Amino acid sequence: MSTFDKKMKIVGIILNFLRKKNRTPANIIRTHTIKNIILINNKRLGDFLFATPAIRALREANPSANIVVVTSKQNAGLIGKTPFFNKVVFMDNSLKDAVKTGLELRSLRPELGIVFHSKCPYDFVALTISGVRCLMKHYFGNERKVLLNICDGYIFGGNLPPVQNNLALMEQLGVVSINKDMFFPAPVSPKKPAAHFKIGLQLGASKADRYFPISAASELISNIHAIDSKCEFHLIGAPQETILGEKLMDTIKDECKPNIVNHIGKTTLHQLAEKINNLSILITPDTGSLHIATALKTKTVSLFVIKQTNASIPQQDVHLHRVLYASDYLNQNSLHDEISLLAPIPVKEIINAITQLRAKI
């Protein structure tokens, strides 16, 4: 038995002892009569957005419930006034934070606690200390399946996209919804008519081997500028991706540079959402920006390495999105000098996808 497994066994004994007198199975609890619901999702921004269809379904099943969302401090810019939950509590992944959060929530006497995505066992610690009666969890596909006996209901990810798994977890409560539309959980200004076509470019991703290749981005800008000299290109990304924007600008032809606006590392999450909301199309690997665009109904061309049944490709408004997979072009020698696994995707295919989406109203 590994050290991790030994620790989880001890944690399980403690949490089971604390929960043994106060548990309600998911198939017994009456969702429409619940007064207080705790939802934990303190991973990355995209993971939070994946849970929003399930959050909507819960609200629709119980319009009067007090729904409290627990998320990470890094998602603070993601959250604003919304009818789908009443309060936000911030918790990072530490025992100290988990205990503090649990004590803060204890006065609510929550009947239901749902973990959409979080780091185990801090999620269980917080909910157990809160005194929650029914504890449910979505175990992501790459997450260790531990402390199952602490849960009153759970679902394993890995086969379906996260949005569908979260909705499937709701079905254990008798809450059924076919609405897979994500929502951005803060007010965003209405889309504005644009004088020129605006293409957003996300160069970075969660891993360096999934970056949008600099050479591909440079070629894309050059080719589109040759067709539409008024087209604007907006670079977006996190502060740590600033170097990618600098490298791209070093490769760009002088005549294209006036059309490029570099926002990388210069926006808050909410400001980023406002930018994405007013793009004509966003070109991006699998990133939080893709999921913001999906939630805001902005057209996207997304770049993935391989086709997978559990991939986080858009699950809504499929007419607004095109997905390209590097695995479909592995026999081609395009961009062979790049490190990125997305390099095999030909620039001409990205331009074709842009052209198709541009023709759609």
**Per-residue pLDDT at 359 exceeds 80:** yes
Total of domains in the chain = 2
pLDDT tens digits along 20-71 = 887 999 989 988 899 999 999 988 888 999 999 999 999 999 999 999 999 9
Q: What percentage of the chain reaches a pLDDT higher than 90?
A: 79
Same domain, residue pair 156 and 209: no
Give burial (CB, 10 Å; 0-12/13-18/19+) of 335: buried
Q: Which of 23-27, 71-75, 95-99, 329-333 has the highest mean pLDDT?
A: 95-99
Please compute the mean of the pLDDT values over residues 318-342 and round it to a whole number: 80
What average pLDDT does this structure show over 149-171?
94
Domain ends where: 171, 188, 223?
A: 171
- Residues 167 and 204 occupy one common structural domain: no
Are residues 155 and 286 located together in one domain of the fold? Answer: no
Kindly state whether residues 245 and 293 are assigned to the same domain: yes
Which of 171, 206, 224 terminates a domain? The answer is 171
The mean per-residue pLDDT over the stretch 11-17 comes to 92
pLDDT of residue 335: 47
Say which DSSP state 332 is in: S
Give residues with Cβ within 8 angstroms of 353, minimum separation 6.
301, 322, 324
Domain containing residue 206: CATH number? 3.40.50.2000
**Do 145 and 231 fall within a single domain?**
no
Residue where one domain finishes, among candidates 171, 189, 221: 171
- Amino acid 80: pLDDT: 86
Residue 21 pLDDT: 81
Q: Do 263 and 321 fall within a single domain?
A: yes
* Mean pLDDT (whole number) for 197-205: 96
User: What local confidence, expressed as pLDDT, does residue 332 receive?
Assistant: 56
Q: 53: cis peptide before it, omega within 30°?
A: no
- Residue span of the structural domain in which 47 resides: 3-171
Mean pLDDT of the chain: 93
Does residue 139 share a domain with residue 38? yes
In a domain, 41, yes or no: yes
Please report which confidence band the pLDDT of residue 338 belongs to, taking 50, 70 and 90 as the band edges: low
> Does 67 map to a domain?
yes
**pTM for the full model?**
0.93
In this structure, are 33 and 136 located in the same domain? yes
Task: Quote the radius of gyration of the chain (alpha carbons, Å).
Answer: 22
Measure the CA–CA gap between 10 and 16, rounded to whole angstroms. 10
State mean pLDDT over 71-89.
Answer: 90
* Statement to judge: residues 274 and 346 lie in one domain: yes
Least confident of 24-33, 73-82, 234-243, 283-292: 73-82
Q: How would residue 339 be classed by pLDDT, with cut points 50, 70 and 90?
A: confident
Q: What average pLDDT score do residues 177-200 get?
A: 94
Using CA atoms, how far apart are residues 273 and 53, in angstroms rounded to an integer? 18
| pLDDT for the residue 6 | 87
Is 161 among the domain residues?
A: yes
